[in-house]
Amino acid sequence: MNVTRVEELIEEFDWFDGVYKRDEIEEALTLKEEIIPHLIRILEEVADDPARYILEEHYANTYAVALLAHFQEPTAHLPIIRAFCLPAEQLDELWGDMVTETLPALLFQTCNGQLAAIKELILDREAPEFVRSAAVDAMTYAVAREAADREEVIVFLSSLLTGTEAEADSYFWGSVVSAISDLHPEGAMEAIRKAFAEGLIPEIFVTLEEIEDDLCRDMEEARLLLRTRVDHRIPQDIHAYLSWFACFRESAPLPPQPANCALKAQQNQKKANRAKSKRAKKARKKNRR
């Protein structure tokens, strides 16, 4: 009986009507063991054939990753990575702002304290740059939640500033320096100054002066600020995470309309060719809160 009900819940999640499925999510939480294999299968379908998933206007992927992260399900870790490592157009269509806003939390919550796959993703030059950057942020989440040692993460991130890890104009460089600064840049300034001197870090993203300011901060203050931000990004209440999506409202259903990506309303206002510098500046400002 539960299997049948799980399938019905998946069908509800898969149909976008503009209303957040609060009751269905609440029921899914009570069917954790039964629903996890179905949620992972959704991610495998996305990774195996994203074009078909988009064409058929599925939507359950949004709910699937949120539930799997909430369950802290380790078997979902690699499927999540595969489902996000897509060509740029499909990535934006299926996941939208989840790549920069929530993927770091999804990676951390499902890693079970093991960062090997996250590090491999960071080092994968074939992976989308924003996905790699989300993995970089996930490393800072691990430090904030005391699942990783700050000094070890600083050494790893600093090693990514040689100039060979990404294209010259990649968002990746700025995200690495930003992550180091969030952890407090002590111990990494030599690598950071060299990266700026070699022109790896666009100043529209962050300036060396800003990093120097962060260096002057108290280490404990930096730790507490990071922990506060990470706690905000990983709410205990799954409803607090999902229900704020711009494409949802908790009222009467909207007239049926096609939608097949997270944060559809936001995506409609964004063009594929938007300037990277604007997005980078926005991300940096959020990281400094």
Give the C-alpha separation, 178 to 158, whole Å.
11
Task: Determine the pLDDT at residue 273.
Answer: 34
Please state the pTM of the whole predicted model: 0.84
Mean pLDDT score, 240-263: 52
DSSP assignment of 80-97 equals: HHHHH---HHHHHHHHTT
Task: Determine the pLDDT at residue 136.
Answer: 98
Task: Determine the pLDDT at residue 250.
Answer: 56
For the chain, the average pLDDT equals 86
Give the C-alpha separation, 153 to 219, whole Å.
15
Residue 83 has pLDDT above 90, yes or no: yes
Q: Facing residues of 281 across strands?
A: none
Least confident among 16-20, 63-67, 124-128: 16-20
Mean pLDDT score, 9-29: 93
